[in-house]
């Protein structure tokens, strides 16, 4: 089972839950609450030139808000983390583009979005997610916009709190996790509403796939005009997605308290089905629905696609170094044991080889003393043996060749034998003859393979005065059109 930490700072008080994820089942293991007093504030878009500290800047330990009052309560071990943030000035839309590959989108997505919004997108992070290919060959792209200044303040808060989440999203981005945990429970074309604080989060599913989400803010639910404005926004969002997809939403589901069900059904003209977070995440309460459903997007085995994750582009999450340290820490005891075994093996191997070398040295010294009696009383060393070898080499150099015959004797003997062979084989011809101090090498051409065997047999059986001690024959193959060539190597007898 994989443990995942999900922190929701959009709720009041802020909450953190540790979820146990196994296959397609999510279970709430522990939950924690803390009042953080609005750790991140809404960005001031009227002054776009003002940016907070870059996420790589080092804040002072005592400066600014922190998530530590909440995170310090978490005692259950966890593997990965998600952070849900207040959706201040968060905007989402769907674009239809003629391409859907990442390289092309990275180049033009900002320009494409700029055509649809009345403000400069350079002050916003444009996060995109390709959905599917439409029947006409174009691509449906889901886009989220979030002020860069706001996201930088979020990352600064995380760094100050020593917290590095893989996912930074909104409740609208993660409530679609319910569709993946219980795909058969919901209609293939449906919408999911979740009310949290002063935001209504909407997730749209078409043909069994999540295709859009939206955040609608409102002032107060106890005000009739505010509720009417909110319901109108919800109605427009539902109709817009139905018209865009050419399909009707056959099911609308409501999670969370705040919106009166009957009034909502009456104004929307649709039947709504209330649902509980407990139906999808065991042990989860409705106020923890968003945090609990975020866990499914961090499972290791085939995580579902997440439309909204602001850890994208220049704010992307790079887990390599962190995961490496975590893996080394987890494997520390095993690596230490392996290192100890390796050290023991190397030590034992060294001692064994050292013992063998000592035995070999002793055996060599004994053999040298046996062969060189004059060293019986002295110490046998390598220099002593080298001196004896040098003296022996000098003596051999003075004696010259160890053979008792001169090259002239060898030439006379081989000439006599070749003459006798030529009488038996008239077509025999000598192509080369080389005589050294202790060896005769000759190459002969004969008309038949059997002639080579006859010559070899003659040289071996009729050695002149024990001149030839060893005769070797080598077949060199064809010579010319008809002849066969043989090489004979004859070693002369030594003294």
The dihedrals phi and psi of 364, each to the nearest 5 degrees, come to -65, -40
Average pLDDT, the chain: 84
pLDDT at 53: 42
Token pair, residue 299, equals 């499972």
State how far the Cα of 419 lies from the Cα of 467, in Å rounded to an integer: 17
pLDDT at 399: 54
Q: Does residue 166 sit in helix, strand or coil?
A: coil
State how far the Cα of 122 lies from the Cα of 45, in Å rounded to an integer: 12
pLDDT at 61: 43
DSSP 494: B
State how far the Cα of 64 lies from the Cα of 161, in Å rounded to an integer: 10
Q: Of 81-95, 197-211, 255-269, which range is least confident?
A: 255-269
pLDDT of residue 402 exceeding 80: no
Token pair, residue 11, equals 């709720």
Token pair, residue 239, equals 């109709």
User: pLDDT category, 250, cuts 50, 70, 90?
Assistant: very high
pLDDT in tens, 55-86: 444 444 445 588 999 999 999 999 899 999 99
As a whole number, mean pLDDT of residues 234-248 equals: 92
334 Cβ neighbours under 8 A, 6+ residues apart: none
2-330 against 407-492: fold identical = no
pLDDT at 434: 87
Q: Centre a 10 Å sphere on the Cβ of residue 133 and count the other Cβ atoms it contains.
A: 11
Range with top average pLDDT, 95-99, 297-301, 374-378: 95-99
375 Cβ neighbours under 8 A, 6+ residues apart: 368, 369, 384
As a whole number, mean pLDDT of residues 472-482 equals: 78
* Top-confidence residue, 114 or 416: 114
pLDDT at 440: 85
pLDDT of residue 43 exceeding 70: no
> If you write DSSP's letter for every residue of 17-50 in order, what string do you get?
EEEEEETTEEEEEEEEEE--S-SS----TT-TT-
Q: Of 66-75, 157-166, 310-319, which range is least confident?
A: 310-319
Q: Are 305 and 174 in contact, with CB atoms under 8 Å apart?
A: no
Beta-bridge mates of residue 91? 145
**What sign does the dihedral 368-373-375-378 (CA atoms) show?**
positive
| Per-residue CA distances from 75 to 18, 29, 494 (Å) | 9, 11, 92
pLDDT at 324: 67
Q: Of 66-75, 215-224, 296-305, which range is least confident?
A: 215-224
Chain position carrying tokens 């030594």: 494
pLDDT of residue 442 exceeding 70: yes
* Top-confidence residue, 452 or 257: 452
Of 112, 82, 118, which is closest to residue 98 (Cα–Cα)?
112
Domain 2-330 has CATH 3.40.50.150: no
pLDDT of residue 16 exceeding 50: yes
pLDDT at 59: 43
Chain position carrying tokens 């939206």: 214
In the chain, domain spans: 2-330, 333-399, 407-492
pLDDT of residue 315 exceeding 60: yes
Q: What is the CATH number of domain 407-492?
A: 3.30.1360.100
Beta-bridge mates of residue 484? 446, 478
pLDDT of residue 237 exceeding 80: yes
As a whole number, mean pLDDT of residues 162-181 equals: 93
User: pLDDT category, 428, cuts 50, 70, 90?
Assistant: confident
Helix/strand/coil (H/E/C) assignment for every residue in 64-90: CCCCHHHHCCCCCCCCEEEEECCCCCC
Q: Does residue 466 sit in helix, strand or coil?
A: helix
Token pair, residue 119, equals 């403000």
As a whole number, mean pLDDT of residues 369-384 equals: 64
pLDDT in tens, 112-130: 999 999 999 999 999 999 9
pLDDT at 320: 58
Q: Of 173-182, 227-236, 240-249, 397-406, which range is least confident?
A: 397-406
Q: Does residue 161 sit in helix, strand or coil?
A: coil
Q: Which helix (H) or strand (E) holds 359?
A: helix 332-371
> If you write DSSP's letter for every residue of 219-286 in order, what string do you get?
S-TTSHHHHHHHHHHHHHHHHHHHHHHT----EEEEESSSS-HHHHHHHHTS-EEE--GGGTEET--G
Q: Does residue 54 sit in helix, strand or coil?
A: coil
pLDDT at 432: 86
Q: Which helix (H) or strand (E) holds 290?
A: helix 289-293
pTM greater than 0.85 (yes/no): no
pLDDT of residue 143 exceeding 90: yes
């Amino acid at each position: 089972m994989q443990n995942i930490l999900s922190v929701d700072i959009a709720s009041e008080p802020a909450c953190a839950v540790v979820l146990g994820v196994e296959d397609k089942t999510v279970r709430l293991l522990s939950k924690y609450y803390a009042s953080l007093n609005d750790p991140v504030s809404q960005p001031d878009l009227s002054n776009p030139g003002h940016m907070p500290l870059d996420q790589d800047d080092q804040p002072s330990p005592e400066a600014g808000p922190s998530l530590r009052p909440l995170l310090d309560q978490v005692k259950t071990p966890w593997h990965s983390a998600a952070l849900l943030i207040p959706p201040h000035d968060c905007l989402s839309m769907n674009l239809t583009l003629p391409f859907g590959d990442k390289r092309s989108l990275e180049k033009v997505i900002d320009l494409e979005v700029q055509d649809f919004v009345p403000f400069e997108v350079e002050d916003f992070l444009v996060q995109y997610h390709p959905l599917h290919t439409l029947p006409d060959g174009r691509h449906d792209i889901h886009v989220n916009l979030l002020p860069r200044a706001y996201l930088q303040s979020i990352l600064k808060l995380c760094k100050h709190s020593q917290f590095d989440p893989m996912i930074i999203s909104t409740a609208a981005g993660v409530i679609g996790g319910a569709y993946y945990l219980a795909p058969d429970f919901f209609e293939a074309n449906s919408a999911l509403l979740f009310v949290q604080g002063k935001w209504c989060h909407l997730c749209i599913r078409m043909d069994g796939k999540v295709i859009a989400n939206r955040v609608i803010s409102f002032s107060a639910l106890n005000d009739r005009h505010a509720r009417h404005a909110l319901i109108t926004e919800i109605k427009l969002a539902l109709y817009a997605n139905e018209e865009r997809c050419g399909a009707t939403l056959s099911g609308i589901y409501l999670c969370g308290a705040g919106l009166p069900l009957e009034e909502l059904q009456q104004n929307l003209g649709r039947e709504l089905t209330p649902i509980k977070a407990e139906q999808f995440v065991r042990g989860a309460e409705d106020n923890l629905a968003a945090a609990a459903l975020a866990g499914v997007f961090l499972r290791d085995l085939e995580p579902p696609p997440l439309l909204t994750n602001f850890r994208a582009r220049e704010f992307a999450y790079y887990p390599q170094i962190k995961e490496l340290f975590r893996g080394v820490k987890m494997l520390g005891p095993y690596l230490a044991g392996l290192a100890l075994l390796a050290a023991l093996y190397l030590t034992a191997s060294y001692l064994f080889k050292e013992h063998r070398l000592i035995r070999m040295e002793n055996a060599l010294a004994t053999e040298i003393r046996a062969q060189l009696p004059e060293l019986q009383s002295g110490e046998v060393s390598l220099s002593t043996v080298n001196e004896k070898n040098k003296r022996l080499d000098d003596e051999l150099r003075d004696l010259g060749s160890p053979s008792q015959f001169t090259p002239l004797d060898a030439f006379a003997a081989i000439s006599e034998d070749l003459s006798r062979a030529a009488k038996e084989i008239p077509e025999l011809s000598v192509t080369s003859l080389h005589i050294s101090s202790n060896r005769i090498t000759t190459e002969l051409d004969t008309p038949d393979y059997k002639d080579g065997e006859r010559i070899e047999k003659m040289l071996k059986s009729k050695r002149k005065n024990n001149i030839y001690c060893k005769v070797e024959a080598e077949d060199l193959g064809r010579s010319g059109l008809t002849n066969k060539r043989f090489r004979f190597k004859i070693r002369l007898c030594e003294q």
